Structure 1
């Protein structure tokens, strides 16, 4: 009866409104970032940022704020985006004191597969994890132990692409995704998923992608995630239980490692063989299970997406395609599968760098926590404990750093001696500083070889008639992907 009394209900509503108003007014007046330029609503709420994140438009939204407000912009009551070249270096240089935001562990932790080297915030713990794999992921070790795996998977993928494209239309994103998944499966789990043979994703890859969706939902919209437990839909139940399936699959990584300790194409076997004795204790079975799955997360969609955008960008430019086809046609059939030789091909590598500049797979926020003493960017002081973030999407489109920044111009990379200091320091498709992606050399190997073999074996490849530029617009759910989720090509 109490809650049906109109007087009580009225007073409750008035009280709620007054308390809400006082809360907002307090945020407005006491916001520690009120002196930073930005939309008025970012002084009191983060929900616009969260909404843009949820619909896959975060990088575009933050970029638009930089265009309107400058290189230092408030994007929420406790977050500031920085696009100043010197500010980027200050944040990400080794020893800067700007630690990774807790967001990383929260986001990856929500998957249920465990925190790996990518997401670990503690710099000491991260240093131990990174040392475990630093030699295994070095260019020298990859070429010695893993290049044969990449050769095999690239050859199979291009064979399948050529076969489909010869007689019709072929979705290269599909085949490149299978290729990169097979590569990282062989290197992390000690066995290929054999996706290129079957021509489709297996249950593990499907489940893994569900884990990513569930993690995103849990972190960005926790209330919706909580409600979803009570919705009796089979796909939803599968998504919620996906983390358990991933952990079970991790057992195979441990089993294969224990059976084949001498298999140097297994990254964990190489890590065990080459890391210091004091670090070997960190390679526990639980850690191997989680890190193997983290490697899939970091190394499959990302590399496949970048290579897909490279092919698309080249096929849209017939003159560039002709020059690239001529360069790789001059490479013999042995060296076309030789990464050290391909690394010396100027046009190929310039095209790769320009693709990474405009279409890198993780171009959005790299959040960091300001050291306790605070920091200054331009004329603006930012208190310690708050978050600053940079994003490659904006840094790579800075006209003051990259003239004609929106144009795909591979020539800007042809002569490394002509690059300016800011062009070098602001180029961050794999992150920067001590937290730069440990798998970048493997990614470049796959992209180099995949692109070289494709354009050598498929001269005259073209985009299918159904393809439009709008299909290749990037959607940004941490890793970017074409909104059309395909890229069709043909040799007809």
Structure 2
């Protein structure tokens, strides 16, 4: 039987090769006999273009090294499939890929160049996102952000290593712990705003926007040494949240048309504003960061640039003191792009984790009380504040944080890696070197073999493990894995631990207000970040008197 199937497959393959070869011969014969005159060019150019499309599609479907992988033919033929589901339908491609996996199995070719893998065991993620192997990124993915010069946007593994090396000291644990008092100061400010809001009886608070203001003040203080003070705004600056959402939505277009971003940056503001008022907010954010970089390079903030021990206070000064980077990575453009990446990674992603933790704990008050009890016991001395090192040792709080990370996904879109020098093997599939391979946290975190009842918020799934959930953490990929894992993971976790512990210790009378899971929480579109329905009113919370 296997022999028959193999012969049938080989015969089918030979037929496709023969057919494609015959088509190519006809086309080349046609081209050789062309009589080029100015008049008939108008006829020949469209015909030649059509023939080029026929050849290109034939190659992609039958001759490409990826032709053996299963998947819909339309997706293998053109990138327009992804454009339709993501740009036209609004962030639906990720869900379509999941449907294809249900039809074709764990390996699916999702475009002419890329395969997507949904591993039932979850172990192949560590192979694709390797710590030790050479892993490039796919330029089709990185170009959508317009930050190709940065560590995040770098395609080459080796260049990324140099850029990452320059930034690593800034995110080492000792530097994060040194910043802990600043995080706590921002937390105190957040609590003051909550108290003021509650005392003024202004109603329920929109938590994602509130947390966004707080997280932005924290990350700008840490990386730029310039707090943007969004917590000072009476309404918590919802326009800033809109800016990040607009930036994320733009990626669905700039992924297909990377020239759009440079074009927008070159247009007068009034034209950009007429196209979409939110777009100007994106450009203004970039210019604000660029202004800070110019001040750094000119030495205007010299006396505030370093700690007393000589350590840099900004990520820019850290990069500039590195001896591993070429001169091209010390200019204004590189630095402001790097600043934008850190701002984007450390604001809405953290805010969404905190929002998910708040929603799920308040939706099940028994879990909230269990957390409060653990915090009460841990803080037997009420005059002593728990430091982040102690908080990270609390099992139930750790379970809460991990579940919030799992159900907020980090980024909801797929991530892609290329093994340029080695072939990879998955099940019976041989993946040629140089193939872009993508996987997603969305599918990993809802793998029922790894996380039973995966849509349920269950801190106990971590706390009840014999090893405290350490083995399970290998499947938690909110920060990705491998040599390109999020550099700010330690900082983000410290902020999340401190914030959840502080809020649920201090406020015992928090209740959800008019918050519906299907409308306000459930992810219905992938706009790089998870998005709820268009009718969503957000996760809103009433803070009563304690």
Give TM-score, length-normalised by structure 2.
Answer: 0.77
The alpha carbon displacement at 1:64 in A equals 2.7
Q: Which residue of 1 aligns with 2:294?
A: 251
Instruction: Kindly indicate whether residue 388 of structure 2 is the aligned counterpart of residue 352 of structure 1.
Output: no
Partner residue, 2:455? 406
Partner of 1:234: 273
CA distance in 1: counterparts of 2:247 and 2:518, whole angstroms? 29
1:91-490 to 2 correspondence within 5 Å? 91-108=128-145, 110=146, 115-144=149-178, 146-165=179-198, 167=201, 168-199=203-234, 200-201=236-237, 211-221=247-257, 232=271, 234-236=273-275, 239=279, 241-242=283-284, 243-244=286-287, 246-252=289-295, 254=297, 255=299, 257-263=301-307, 266-268=313-315, 271=318, 284=330, 286=332, 287-330=334-377, 331=379, 335-336=384-385, 338-415=387-464, 417-418=466-467, 423-474=472-523, 475-483=525-533, 484=536, 486-490=538-542
1:301-335, Cα deviation, whole Å (9 max, x unpaired): 11111111111111111211121122234435565
Q: CA contact under 8 A between 2:150 and 2:338: conserved in structure 1?
A: yes
Give the distance between the partners of 1:280 and 1:343, measured in 2 at CA.
38
SS at match of 2:110: strand
Q: For 1:73 and 1:422, locate their aligned partners in 2 and report how far apart those are by CA, in whole Å.
A: 28
Distance, in Å, in 1 between the alignment partners of 2:175 and 2:239 is 31
Sort the Cα spacing of 1:488 and 1:207 in 2 relative to 1 into closer, same or farther, 3 A: closer
Measured in 1, the distance between the counterparts of 2:404 and 2:238 equals 29
The question of whether the paired residues in 1 share the 8 Å contact of 2:138 and 2:155 is answered with yes
Q: 1:466 to 1:105 in 2, by over 3 A?
A: closer
Distance 2:345 2:296 in 1: 16
SS at match of 1:376: strand
- CA distances 1:2-28 after superposition (whole Å, capped 9, x unpaired): xxxxx9999998887676555544433
Shifted more, 441-450 versus 45-54: the winner is 45-54
Distance (whole Å) between structure 2 residues aligned to residue 130 and residue 227 of structure 1: 29
Q: 1:49 maps to what in 2?
A: 82
Counterpart residue number, 2:13:
none
- In structure 2, relative to structure 1, the CA distance for the partners of 1:206 and 1:372 (3 Å cut) is same
For residues 364 and 203 of structure 1, do their structure 2 counterparts lie closer, same or farther at Cα, with a shift above 3 Å needed?
closer
Shift of 1:431: 0.9
* 8 Å Cα contact 2:359-2:539 kept in structure 1: yes
Distance in 2 (alpha carbons) for counterparts of 1:333 and 1:174: 31
- Indicate how the Cα distance of structure 1 residues 333 and 158 shifts in structure 2: closer, same or farther if over 3 A, else same: farther
- Segments of 5+ residues of structure 2 without an aligned counterpart are 1-39
**1: CA distance, partners of 2:402 / 2:500:** 13
Q: Which residue of 2 aligns with 1:61?
A: 96
Judged with a 3 Å threshold, the aligned counterparts in structure 2 of structure 1 residues 14 and 140 are, in CA distance, closer, same or farther, namely closer
Q: How many corresponding residue pairs?
A: 481
Whole-Å separation in 1 of the counterparts to 2:326 and 2:238: 32
- Secondary structure of 1:76's partner? coil
Structure 1 residues 438 and 257, CA, compared in 2 at 3 Å: closer, same or farther?
A: farther
Secondary structure of the corresponding residue to residue 388 of structure 1: strand
Aligned equivalents of 2:501, 2:530: Cα separation in 1 = 23
Whether the 8 Å contact between 1:132 and 1:279 is mirrored in structure 2 is: yes
Q: Which moved more, 1:340-349 or 1:243-252?
A: 243-252
Distance of 1:203 and 1:461 partners within structure 2 = 26
> How much has 1:443 moved relative to structure 2?
0.6
Question: TM-score, structure 1 length as denominator?
Answer: 0.85
Which structure: larger Rg? 2
Q: Which runs of 5+ in 1 are unaligned?
A: 1-6
Change in Cα spacing, 1:481 to 1:444, as seen in structure 2 (3 Å) is farther
SS in 1 for 2:447: coil
User: C-alpha root-mean-square deviation of aligned residues, in Å?
Assistant: 3.6
Q: Tell me by how many angstroms 1:351 deviates.
A: 0.7
The CA deviation at 1:179 is: 0.6
User: For structure 1, which segment, 431-440 or 127-136, has the greater mean C-alpha deviation from structure 2 after superposition?
Assistant: 127-136
